[in-house]
Amino acid sequence: MSQSGGTSRLPVIVRCLGFAAACGGLLSFLGWVVSIERLTDWGGTGITIKVNAALAALCAGIGVALLPSGKKAAIGVQVLGSLVSLMGGLTLAEHLIDVNLGIDELLFTEPPGARATAAPGL
C-alpha cells in the first residue's frame, strides 16, 4: 500500500472511531433518560457509568469525528474539547481535594447502596 493510499483513509477511520465513541456516550446517556439499566451498565456488573462521563464521551466522540473537517469545524472541536476538559478537571478536583461538587448527581441520581457510587467528599 502506498503512503498516499493509507493517509487518504485516515480521515474516514478517525470519523468512524469518533462516531463510535459518540454513540457509546449517547446510548449510555439515553439509558439514564429512559431508565434502561443495561445501557448504563454495559458489563452487567451493577456499576453504572455516571451521566457526566457519558456526556463527556459523547462530546469527545463528536469532537474526534469533526477533526478531519479542518478549519470549518475547529471552533466546534475546541468547544467540545473544552467541555470534556472541564468535566474531567472538575471530577479530578473532587477527588484531589475530597469535596463533592455534585456534578455526578446533577441530572440523575443513582439509588442508595448501588455499587461504586461513593462520591468524593461524602
pLDDT in tens, 80-117: 999 999 999 998 998 899 888 888 777 777 766 666 66
The answer to whether position 113 is within a domain reads no
The answer to whether position 17 is within a domain reads yes
**What is the count of structural domains for the chain?**
1
Return the closest-CA partner of residue 18 out of 50, 59, 54, 49: 59
Neighbours of 54 (CB within 10 A): 24
The answer to whether position 49 is within a domain reads yes
Q: What was the pLDDT predicted at 1?
A: 42
pTM of the model: 0.81
The answer to whether position 118 is within a domain reads no
Q: What was the pLDDT predicted at 61?
A: 97
Return the closest-CA partner of residue 87 out of 52, 50, 61, 35: 52
pLDDT digits (tens, 9 = 90+) for 11-23: 999 999 999 999 9
The amino acid occupying position 111 is P
The answer to whether position 39 is within a domain reads yes
Express as a percent the part of the chain with pLDDT over 90.
52
Structural domain of 31 = 3-97
In Å, what is the CA distance from 49 to each residue of 14, 23, 66, 76, 92? 24, 14, 24, 25, 16
Q: What is the mean pLDDT of residues 57-65?
A: 96
